[in-house]
Amino acid sequence: MKHEVLEVIREVCVLREKKAAPAAIPVFKLRGMGKQIARHLARLEIFSLQDLLLHLPARYQDRTHIQPIRQLVPGDAAVIEGVIKNVIAPPRGRTKLMCELQDDTGMMRLRFFHVLPFQASVLRPGARLRCYSEVRIGPQGWEMVHPEFQVISENRPPPVDSHLTPIYPATEGLSQYMLRKLTLHALQTMDQETVLDEILPDSLLQTLAFPTLKEALWFVHRPPRETLVSVLQDNKTIPQKRLVFEELLAHRISLLQIKKTFQSRQGVPLLKHEKLTCSFLAQLPFQLTAAQARVSREIQQDLIRAHPMLRLVQGDVGSGKTVIAALAMLQAVESGFQAAMMAPTELLAEQHYRVFRKWMEPLGVNVAFLSGHVKARARNAVLKSVNTGDAHIILGTHALFQEEVDFAALALIVVDEQHRFGVHQRALFRKKGMQAENCPHQLVMTATPIPRTLAMSFYADLDSSVIDELPPGRTPVMTSVVASGRRDEVVARIREACQEGRQAYWVCPLIEESEVIACQAATKTADDLKSLLPMLKIGLIHGRMNPEQKDKVMRAFQQGEIQLLVATTVIEVGVDVPNASVMIIENAERLGLSQLHQLRGRVGRGAAASHCVLFYQQPLSDLARERLAVMRETTDGFRIAQRDLELRGPGEVLGTRQTGDLSFRVADLIRDSELLPQVHRAAEIMMSAHQDKIPALLRRWFGEKSEYESV
Ligand code: ADP
Ligand code: MG
């Protein structure tokens, strides 16, 4: 899911026109800024004054009043002030030191493991100290370990802080003290220069009762002393929301603009959708569910328009997305055009090919297949039929969108399981579409459910349809979480199930980073199982087999000639064998919840009650235990996605530093989701009444990210 969200944003950025460079004040123009500090700041991706001011505190401390020692409780962080009564000096050459500090109400030990000589020289009996740290229970009572301290004079004590103390995300070599100094300079500079000026219209600020950007920035970097730390920490103050709001607004508007651009392109109206689609539906062994019929109608209506469709179909694993794709593709064929569907894996593309041939050949529709593994003569023949228009429906992997593939009349592109495609592949296929004189319609299908909050924000540029219903007659998969030590019991259960005529998967996930090792693990497991279960027909499939071998194994499994299929995660997406009703997943604790959900979705497709066993290695961390419990409790993909997000935290879902630029700077979709309705409304207002302000807004939040262009 993480990648999916990233890709969408990246894609957005690819399409966004490059705007002029922002009038930013480089951070090195600030007072007190040396080269060394600028280098440290660069590591935090702070290059401009604006970057520095949008590098918000991670938390706050209240150092605005001095607390009596007596009133403290372990766990409190506090400022105390007192006189050193006693120093337990370090033995010669050591740097340890402990002193006892007394105020009018009690005594506190200050423990230092490392004092520098100049510190040791001021920590003497009689010295008056002001300290800040957390109170802990030490071996001899309450203590502070390595408190921040200053020696003060009794007659002229310096004033305590007048605002709460910000604690910034830092990096080695850059102290909090330095960051505080820099942000103060930055705030003062901001007030004098024309940076970070207000963009949002007054009327909007008034309606929402928001302060200006500058006021908000002063507040978050230097909150007034009466502000509640806990409210700040939850990001619930108005000025904090004001900042988040602006960032979310910029995102929303950029997505809406892309949609507008896309919709202004000329599309291919696909007007006929009667004969072929009707015969197709008539020959299907089942009726569409109400949800399928609704989504299919939505697509049908998009396709008849002269503007390109850009629609996302979300439907949980097994909800029946393939039929929806087939119907849309037939509408293109019937109108005299071609349609192509791209699948993320060879295995899935081949399965589509098998299914489509069965469906389409009786209708007289020609289906072609192309992947990187189709070689030489066969490949040339396919390319030719695509080019002449003999091939009506073309299925395959991303090989479909390489240079030499030249479609005669492509009018619809379907991307199946789009979250599995890499950024490059998606950018490529979209470009291919855009180059055409008439932009093909695009249908994007995904089984990875995205929590609503994310979906609304990230897919604003796509229309979306949800298949919120499974075909009838399915029984939910029962899931058990089992320690890997109890393998024998599970093996016995598999034997029973297979002897009753059911089929099973045994999945050996990628444990090491290497596919070779994963395949070895699967091969070994298959061998072990063959000797434990000599009466069963056991097959093996993994990513290093060639397409013919894989195809042969999958066919055999489909036809029931293989009872137990040992596999790597190659079967994760799309594989559809309704008679398989048992799934064993090894090392389940190492897989993400979405991946487990996808794998488990391979069973529970027929009428028989299905079972999934999640094997884990002990010891299990609390988090892992909780994640596996989620799998046991629900089979609802949307709930699993939501829990995944909560357990992992949005930082991880959206990608963090290592994946680059795409996480929000100040917003957090889960935490701030309550703002979204207002953001959406404001985006409409901005686009209709304040177009002139939009370029500056987008530049402020995305302007410098030129690497988007290179994707
Ligand atoms: P997914 O949404 O995971 O891609 P598929 O399209 O592979 O799901 O469909 C899963 C299975 O359900 C297939 O075997 C398909 O033939 C079957 N199926 C799809 N729609 C229906 C329906 N309306 N009634 C019964 N079975 C259906
Ligand atoms: Mg599918």
DSSP 17-64: PPPPPP-PPBGGGSTT--HHHHHHHHHTT--BHHHHHTS--SEEE--S
Q: Please tell me which residue, 4 or 482, carries the higher pLDDT value.
A: 482
**Which ligand has the nearest atom to the CA of 291?**
1
**Mean pLDDT lowest for which of 447-451, 543-547, 552-556?**
447-451
Most informative mutation of 317, 323, 416, 602 for ligand 1 (most atoms within 8 A of CB): 323
DSSP 315-332: E-TTS-HHHHHHHHHHHH
What was the pLDDT predicted at 172?
A: 79
Tokens of 501: 């005529």
Q: Distance between CA 467 and CA 469 in Å, rounded?
A: 6
Q: Distance between CA 584 and CA 575 in Å, rounded?
A: 16
Helices (H), ranges, 389-499: 423-435, 452-458, 487-499
The DSSP bridge pattern shows strands 141-145 and 136-138 to be antiparallel
Which ligand 1 atom sits nearest the alpha carbon of residue 287? 23
Q: Confidence band (pLDDT; 50, 70, 90) for 617?
A: confident
Q: What's the chain's average pLDDT? A: 83
Contact 447 CB / ligand 1 (< 6 Å): yes
Run of H or E including 556: helix 547-558
**Which ligand has the nearest atom to the CA of 472?**
1
% the chain with pLDDT above 70: 85
* Structural contact between residues 214 and 191, judged by C-beta atoms closer than 8 angstroms: yes
Phi, psi of 194 (to 5 degrees): -95, 65
Please name the residue that has the structure tokens 């994310």.
454
Which ligand 1 atom sits nearest the alpha carbon of residue 416? 4
Q: Take atom 19 of ligand 1 and give the residue whose Cα is closest.
A: 320
**Which ligand has the nearest atom to the CA of 602?**
1
Please name the residue that has the structure tokens 């357990």.
647
pLDDT in tens, 67-112: 999 999 888 889 999 999 999 876 666 678 899 999 999 999 999 8
Contact 321 CB / ligand 1 (< 6 Å): yes
DSSP tag of 128: E
What was the pLDDT predicted at 66?
A: 93
CA angle 355, 359, 363 (to 5 degrees): 150
Q: Take atom 25 of ligand 1 and give the residue whose Cα is closest.
A: 471
pLDDT in tens, 630-672: 999 988 888 887 787 677 654 443 332 222 233 578 887 667 8
CA 123 to ligand 2 centroid distance, Å:
70
CA 357 to ligand 1 centroid distance, Å:
16
What was the pLDDT predicted at 262?
A: 72
Contact 605 CB / ligand 1 (< 6 Å): yes
Which amino acid, 386?
V
Q: Confidence band (pLDDT; 50, 70, 90) for 435?
A: low
What was the pLDDT predicted at 361?
A: 93
Q: Is a pLDDT exceeding 50 seen at residue 350? A: yes
Phi, psi of 149 (to 5 degrees): -140, 155
Q: Take atom 20 of ligand 1 and give the residue whose Cα is closest.
A: 320
Which amino acid, 193?
E
CA 320 to ligand 1 centroid distance, Å:
3
- Asked, as a colleague might, if the bond just before 158 is cis with ω within 30 of 0, I would say no
Average pLDDT in the 600-625 region?
A: 87
The DSSP bridge pattern shows strands 165-167 and 59-61 to be antiparallel
pLDDT in tens, 366-422: 999 998 888 888 899 999 999 999 999 999 988 887 878 889 999 999 988 776 664
What was the pLDDT predicted at 40?
A: 86
CA 603 to ligand 2 centroid distance, Å:
13
Q: Confidence band (pLDDT; 50, 70, 90) for 436?
A: low
Q: Take atom 27 of ligand 1 and give the residue whose Cα is closest.
A: 471
**Mean pLDDT lowest for which of 294-298, 343-347, 420-424, 575-579?**
420-424
What was the pLDDT predicted at 456?
A: 63
Most informative mutation of 280, 283, 286, 575 for ligand 1 (most atoms within 8 A of CB): 286
Q: Confidence band (pLDDT; 50, 70, 90) for 608?
A: confident
DSSP tag of 288: P
- Structure pTM? 0.64
Q: Is a pLDDT exceeding 70 seen at residue 325? A: yes
The DSSP bridge pattern shows strands 367-370 and 503-507 to be unpaired
Q: Is a pLDDT exceeding 50 seen at residue 21? A: no
Contact 323 CB / ligand 1 (< 6 Å): yes
Q: Confidence band (pLDDT; 50, 70, 90) for 583?
A: very high
Using alpha carbons, select from 147, 248, 39 the residue that is nearest to residue 697: 248
Edge-to-edge strand order for the sheet containing 107-112? 136-138, 141-145, 107-112, 97-102, 77-88, 128-134, 148-151
Q: How far apart are the first and last CA of the chain?
A: 19
Q: Confidence band (pLDDT; 50, 70, 90) for 459?
A: low
What was the pLDDT predicted at 655?
A: 31
Q: Distance between CA 144 and CA 112 in Å, rounded?
A: 9
Q: Is the dihedral of CA 326, 7, 16, 463 positive or negative?
A: positive
Contacts of 692 (CB under 8 A, 6+ apart): none
Contact 284 CB / ligand 1 (< 6 Å): no
Contact 597 CB / ligand 1 (< 6 Å): no
Contact 257 CB / ligand 1 (< 6 Å): no
Most informative mutation of 312, 605, 635 for ligand 1 (most atoms within 8 A of CB): 605
Q: Distance between CA 154 and CA 323 in Å, rounded?
A: 82
What was the pLDDT predicted at 33?
A: 74
The Cβ of residue 650 has, within 10 Å, a number of other Cβ atoms equal to 23
Helices (H), ranges, 63-201: 117-122, 176-192
What was the pLDDT predicted at 22?
A: 40
Q: Please tell me which residue, 479 or 514, carries the higher pLDDT value.
A: 479
Average pLDDT in the 554-562 region?
A: 90
Q: Is a pLDDT exceeding 90 seen at residue 333? A: yes
Average pLDDT in the 499-515 region?
A: 79
Give residue limits of the domains in the chain. 2-60+166-234, 65-160, 289-467, 477-634
Contact 317 CB / ligand 1 (< 6 Å): yes
Using alpha carbons, select from 654, 575, 648, 605 the residue that is nearest to residue 10: 654
CA 317 to ligand 1 centroid distance, Å:
9
Q: Take atom 24 of ligand 1 and give the residue whose Cα is closest.
A: 471
**Mean pLDDT lowest for which of 149-158, 427-436, 548-557, 686-695?**
427-436
Q: Take atom 23 of ligand 1 and give the residue whose Cα is closest.
A: 288
Q: 477-634 adopts what CATH topology?
A: Rossmann fold (3.40.50)
Average pLDDT in the 319-345 region?
A: 94
CA 292 to ligand 1 centroid distance, Å:
10
Which ligand 1 atom sits nearest the alpha carbon of residue 319? 2
Q: Distance between CA 315 and CA 471 in Å, rounded?
A: 12
Q: Is a pLDDT exceeding 90 seen at residue 220? A: yes
Q: 289-467 adopts what CATH topology?
A: Rossmann fold (3.40.50)
Q: CA Rg, the chain, in Å? A: 31
What was the pLDDT predicted at 561?
A: 94
**Which ligand has the nearest atom to the CA of 601?**
1
Which ligand 1 atom sits nearest the alpha carbon of residue 315? 2
Q: Is a pLDDT exceeding 60 seen at residue 16? A: no
Contact 61 CB / ligand 1 (< 6 Å): no
**Which ligand has the nearest atom to the CA of 316?**
1
Neighbours of ion ligand 2 (CB under 5 A): 574
- Residues making up the chain, counted from first to last: 711
Fold match between 65-160 and 289-467? Answer: no
- For the CA atoms of 544, 546, 547, 550, the dihedral, rounded to the nearest 10 degrees, stands at -60
Edge-to-edge strand order for the sheet containing 503-507? 478-483, 611-616, 580-585, 503-507, 564-567, 538-541
- Candidates 2.40.50.140, 3.40.50.1370, 3.40.50.300, 1.10.1740.10; CATH matching 65-160: 2.40.50.140
